[in-house]
């Protein structure tokens, strides 16, 4: 039986996390790999290994261990019928644990490619293995069983960014809070680290990163090591929000060679939503992180490759295959392209805004931000659904939520169910005709000044947390004039393109652009970045899925 203590699983969860395969299932897996005798002490896989193999125990025992500071902690012991692995077998990321033979016997060994073929072709085993891998990763995250330690402070915006980046990438980490851990300063002194270097990431065995960018974290953890950047792809998808992930799932599952490039971490705006309640099939709601995390795993299961912290900086559309410059000097090429770069929150022009971003000013309301303002007063700026959701969610954890809107109420801009919840909630106060005019503080936001635009009266209060939810602008700056945009910068597609647009951008074909196709043949735009798109998760997912069928048509005729 598995050793449960380190992962602290209940019996129900343990059965699903470490299932025992039937003899028939073992035979099916054996047909994809090879049988191998094992001797006590054999290391089948080590921490940091990039080439990952999958093992089923036929006889004997193997144990997953976490080596640290000369010691080893047993994470789990696997016995006959059980199998090794977690989500990094699907993503191709480095191993987080050591796998060693505890009792001699026999295993079935599959290379990663053989495992991917198995999960793509066998529905029963795919479900069982994927569920176990995801539950194991979840348990590793809950237990902090990663190869990263983040040392940071709630007063430092880089700390929130780094923690969010790791969380959104589903990467387990341990957190040491400088504000509460008396020994932490000594630790920093040992590494000669100044306060400007916070957050510090100890990554792998001995890499110490000082206030690293997301790209540096991704590099240190080898997030993109398995991605071949030299191949000309069938389809490159730019952006891994709901629209891009849906396109990746459909494209890869229908046999296309798909690469997704994502500037930050998978999930997009949806990943910053605490609870999505209007997405079909989830009557009790689902957090954006959970929804997009599942989509991410699904896309990778079908073989889509995803580059993380790799923002597209330029589209070269003069010749085909198209090429996209990616930050850091690399370039990817593709016969078709789906642009799914979505939108970003508009930032009001306020002095000091950027100084307090992540240190009192937030653009998302997830449990991570909520943790920072438990029991305190917060302000949510905006009158749309995302502001409403944030206010309702934050009211469960904070003392009071004030919603600031410039208009005279919420009903024109917010769904009725949210307006009713806000009206019924004594912890939420709506201030109409109100806008923030000043932000004050030292290392963290401490005071906010606001004005009532009807009376001109200005008030100041000690508020240390403001959530900006004030509408979005499209991420289209990187398109280098390749495609027609509307007057707000959103991408025009299909029948929205006028004859003048087609002439101005040199549309070269006799046929008219397909649905969702831009002024470049084979370049599609989906989701929030597209002009006239309904800004919802469902429409982003729908458009991402539909675009793939047009991609097939383009690839067949090119």
Ligand X SMILES: Cc1cc2nc3c(=O)[nH]c(=O)nc-3n(C[C@H](O)[C@H](O)[C@H](O)COP(=O)(O)OP(=O)(O)OC[C@H]3O[C@@H](n4cnc5c(N)ncnc54)[C@H](O)[C@@H]3O)c2cc1C
Residue 351 token pair: 């002095």
Site membership for ligand X, residue 226 (CB under 6 A): no
Applying CB under 6 A, which of residues 5, 121, 185, 278 lies at the interface with ligand X?
278
Binding mask 26-65 for ligand X (x = CB under 6 A): ----------------------------------------
Beta bridge partners of 552: none
Site membership for ligand X, residue 546 (CB under 6 A): no
CA neighbours closer than 13 Å in the CB half-sphere of residue 257: 13
Applying CB under 6 A, which of residues 210, 451, 535, 552 lies at the interface with ligand X?
535
> What length is written for the chain?
558
Site membership for ligand X, residue 261 (CB under 6 A): yes
Sort 343 into a burial class: Cβ within 10 Å, 0-12 / 13-18 / 19+.
Answer: buried
Could you report how far apart the first and last alpha carbons of the chain are, in Å?
Answer: 56
In the block, residue with structure tokens 């915006």? 157
SS3 readout for 191-228: CCCCHHHCCEEEECCCEEEECCCHHHHHHHCCCCCCCC
Site membership for ligand X, residue 303 (CB under 6 A): no
State whether residue 103 is helix, strand or coil.
strand
In the block, residue with structure tokens 């891009």? 244
Site membership for ligand X, residue 388 (CB under 6 A): no
Pick the stretch among 70-78, 108-116, 269-277, 515-523 that binds ligand X (CB under 6 A): 269-277
Binding mask 182-221 for ligand X (x = CB under 6 A): ----------------------------------------
Q: Per-residue DSSP letters for 283-350?
A: TT-B-HHHHHHHHHHHHHHTT-EEESS--EEEEE-SSSSEEEEETTTEEEEEEEEEE---EEE-----
Pick the stretch among 6-14, 118-126, 223-231, 537-545 that binds ligand X (CB under 6 A): 537-545
Provide φ and ψ at 328, rounded to 5°: 95, 5
Binding mask 481-520 for ligand X (x = CB under 6 A): ----------------------------------------
Cα 280 from chain centroid?
Answer: 21
Site membership for ligand X, residue 478 (CB under 6 A): yes
- Which of residues 176 and 364 has its CB atom nearest to ligand X in the complex? 364
Question: Considering the complex, what minimum distance in angstroms separates the CB of residue 545 from ligand X?
Answer: 12
Site membership for ligand X, residue 334 (CB under 6 A): no
3-state helix, strand, coil in the chain (%, to 5): 30, 25, 40
Helices 242-253, 537-557: axis angle to 10 degrees equals 40
Residue 162 token pair: 């780094």
Site membership for ligand X, residue 540 (CB under 6 A): yes
Q: Outline where DSSP puts E strands in 488-538.
A: 523-525
Applying CB under 6 A, which of residues 25, 82, 475, 520 lies at the interface with ligand X?
475
Applying CB under 6 A, which of residues 243, 315, 359, 370 lies at the interface with ligand X?
243
- Which of residues 2 and 527 has its CB atom nearest to ligand X in the complex? 527
Applying CB under 6 A, which of residues 25, 341, 398, 520 lies at the interface with ligand X?
341
Question: Considering the complex, what minimum distance in angstroms separates the CB of residue 324 from ligand X?
Answer: 8
Site membership for ligand X, residue 389 (CB under 6 A): yes
- Which of residues 202 and 237 has its CB atom nearest to ligand X in the complex? 237
528/491 Cα distance (integer angstroms): 9
Provide φ and ψ at 330, rounded to 5°: -95, 165
Please, what is the Cα angle at 167 between 166 and 168, to 5 degrees?
Answer: 95
**CB neighbour list of residue 329: distance below 8 Å, 6 or more residues apart:** none
Question: Considering the complex, what minimum distance in angstroms separates the CB of residue 526 from ligand X?
Answer: 7
Residue 263 token pair: 């500037």
Beta bridge partners of 449: 438, 460
Applying CB under 6 A, which of residues 527, 547, 548, 551 lies at the interface with ligand X?
527
The single-letter DSSP state of residue 120 is H
Question: Considering the complex, what minimum distance in angstroms separates the CB of residue 485 from ligand X?
Answer: 15
Residue 58 token pair: 């036929």
Applying CB under 6 A, which of residues 256, 537, 548, 550 lies at the interface with ligand X?
537
How many chain residues touch ligand X (CB under 6 A)?
38
Please state whether the peptide bond connecting residue 3 to the residue before it is cis, i.e. omega within 30 degrees of 0: no
- Which of residues 6 and 266 has its CB atom nearest to ligand X in the complex? 266
Question: Considering the complex, what minimum distance in angstroms separates the CB of residue 274 from ligand X?
Answer: 7
Q: Which positions from 279 through 298 interact with ligand X, judged by CB under 6 A?
A: 279
Pick the stretch among 100-108, 123-131, 237-245, 297-305 that binds ligand X (CB under 6 A): 237-245
Q: Per-residue DSSP letters for 467-521?
A: EE---EEE--GGGTT-S-B-TTSPBP-GGGS-HHHHHHTT---SSPPPTTB-SST
Sort 106 into a burial class: Cβ within 10 Å, 0-12 / 13-18 / 19+.
Answer: middle
Applying CB under 6 A, which of residues 262, 300, 369, 517 lies at the interface with ligand X?
262
Site membership for ligand X, residue 242 (CB under 6 A): yes
Pick the stretch among 346-354, 429-437, 515-523, 533-541 that binds ligand X (CB under 6 A): 533-541
Site membership for ligand X, residue 240 (CB under 6 A): yes
Pick the stretch among 72-80, 210-218, 406-414, 528-536 that binds ligand X (CB under 6 A): 528-536
Site membership for ligand X, residue 268 (CB under 6 A): yes
Site membership for ligand X, residue 342 (CB under 6 A): yes
440/395 Cα distance (integer angstroms): 24
Site membership for ligand X, residue 311 (CB under 6 A): yes
Q: Which residues in this chain contact ligand X in the complex, by CB under 6 A?
A: 238-244, 261-264, 268-270, 272-273, 276, 278-279, 311-312, 340-343, 364, 385-386, 389, 475, 478, 527-528, 535-538, 540
């Amino acid at each position: 039986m598995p050793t449960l203590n380190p992962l602290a699983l209940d019996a129900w969860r343990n059965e699903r996390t470490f299932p025992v395969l039937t003899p028939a299932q073992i035979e099916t897996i054996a047909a994809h790999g090879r049988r191998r005798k094992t001797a006590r002490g054999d290391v089948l896989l080590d921490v940091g290994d990039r080439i990952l193999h999958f093992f089923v125990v036929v006889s004997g025992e193997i144990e997953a261990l976490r080596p640290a500071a000369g010691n080893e902690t047993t994470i789990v012991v696997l016995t006959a019928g059980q199998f090794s692995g977690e989500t990094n077998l699907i993503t191709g990321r480095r191993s987080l644990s050591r796998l060693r033979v505890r009792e001699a016997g026999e295993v079935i060994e599959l290379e990663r490619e053989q495992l991917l073929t198995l999960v793509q072709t066998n529905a029963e085993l795919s479900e069982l293995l994927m569920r176990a891998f995801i539950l194991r990763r979840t348990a590793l995250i809950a237990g902090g069983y990663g190869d990263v330690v983040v040392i940071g402070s709630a007063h430092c915006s880089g700390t929130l960014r780094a923690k969010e980046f790791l969380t959104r990438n589903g990467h387990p980490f341990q957190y040491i809070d400088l504000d509460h851990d008396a020994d932490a300063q000594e630790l920093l002194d040992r590494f000669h680290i100044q306060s400007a270097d916070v957050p510090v990431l100890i990554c792998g065995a001995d890499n110490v990163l000082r206030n690293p960018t997301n790209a540096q974290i991704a590099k240190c953890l080898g997030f993109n090591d398995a991605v071949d950047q030299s191949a000309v792809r069938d389809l490159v998808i730019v952006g891994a929000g709901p629209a891009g992930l849906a396109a990746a799932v459909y494209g890869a599952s229908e046999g296309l060679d798909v690469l997704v490039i994502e500037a930050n971490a998978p999930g997009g705006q949806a990943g910053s939503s605490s609870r999505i309640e209007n997405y079909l099939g989830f009557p009790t709601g689902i957090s954006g992180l959970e929804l997009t995390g599942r989509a991410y795993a699904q896309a990778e299961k079908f073989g889509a490759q995803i580059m993380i912290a790799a923002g597209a900086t330029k589209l070269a559309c003069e010749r085909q295959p198209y090429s996209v410059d990616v930050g850091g000097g690399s370039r990817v090429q593709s016969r078709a392209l789906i642009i799914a770069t979505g939108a970003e929150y508009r930032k009001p022009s306020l002095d000091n805004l950027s100084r307090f971003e992540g240190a009192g000013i937030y653009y998302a309301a997830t449990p991570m931000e909520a943790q920072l303002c438990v029991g305190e007063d917060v302000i949510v700026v905006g009158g749309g659904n995302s502001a409403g959701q944030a206010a309702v969610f934050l009211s469960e954890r904070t003392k009071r939520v004030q919603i600031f809107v410039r208009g005279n109420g919420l009903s024109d801009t917010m769904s009725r169910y949210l307006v009713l919840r806000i009206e019924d909630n004594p912890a939420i106060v709506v201030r109409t005709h109100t806008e923030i005019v000043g932000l004050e503080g030292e290392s963290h936001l401490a005071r906010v000044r606001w004005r009532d635009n009807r009376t001109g009266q200005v008030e100041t209060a000690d508020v240390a947390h403001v959530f900006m939810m004030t509408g979005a602008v499209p991420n289209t700056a990187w398109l280098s004039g390749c495609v027609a945009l509307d007057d707000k910068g959103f991408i025009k597609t299909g029948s929205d393109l006028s004859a003048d647009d087609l002439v101005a951008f040199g549309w070269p074909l006799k046929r008219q652009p397909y649905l969702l196709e831009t002024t470049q043949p084979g370049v599609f735009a989906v989701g929030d970045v597209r002009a006239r798109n309904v800004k919802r998760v469902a429409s982003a997912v729908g458009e991402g899925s539909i675009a793939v069928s047009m991609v097939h048509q383009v690839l067949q005729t090119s």
